[in-house]
Amino acid sequence: MSKGGYQIEHEPTLESRAKVAGFACAGFSQAQIATYFDIDEKTLRKHYRDELDKSKMDKTMLLGNNLFQDAVNGDKQAREFWLKTQGRWSYAKAPEDNAREEKQVALLEKIIDKL
């Protein structure tokens, strides 16, 4: 932003990068984030492109890894959730799908046993 008629260049810091990543994960718009830092959206995108594009994916990956570890460690709800979302598993499958389902469960148990 301009101060006294001249343009001040924005310098990102580790703290500002962490804040941008946090704001982006929380769902704040680029306009809102730029306003917080008193910069325009173009400057925000110039200095924080990776944080804006990848921070939500990074946080989701961490949660997914934790969920998987909970499933591996015996958390029944985590196992069911993982199988339903990642293995397309369901209680309401047709009888002809039972064999596929049993194979998926057996495979997951083998993977868990190897860990």
> Are residues 32 and 80 located together in one domain of the fold?
no
> Are residues 2 and 43 located together in one domain of the fold?
yes
Domain boundary among 55, 82, 97: 55
> Are residues 2 and 51 located together in one domain of the fold?
yes
- pLDDT tens sequence across 41-64: 999 999 999 999 999 999 999 999
> Are residues 51 and 78 located together in one domain of the fold?
no
Task: Specify which residues 7 forms β-bridges with.
Answer: 2
What's the total number of domains in the chain? 2
98 lies in some domain: yes
Low pLDDT (below 70) residues in the chain: 1-7, 92-98
pTM score of the predicted model: 0.59
Integer Cα distance of 4 and 75 in angstroms: 60
40 lies in some domain: yes
| Residues whose CB is less than 8 angstroms from the CB of residue 12 and which lie 6 or more positions away in sequence, other chains included | 47, 48
The boundaries of the domain holding residue 84 are 74-115
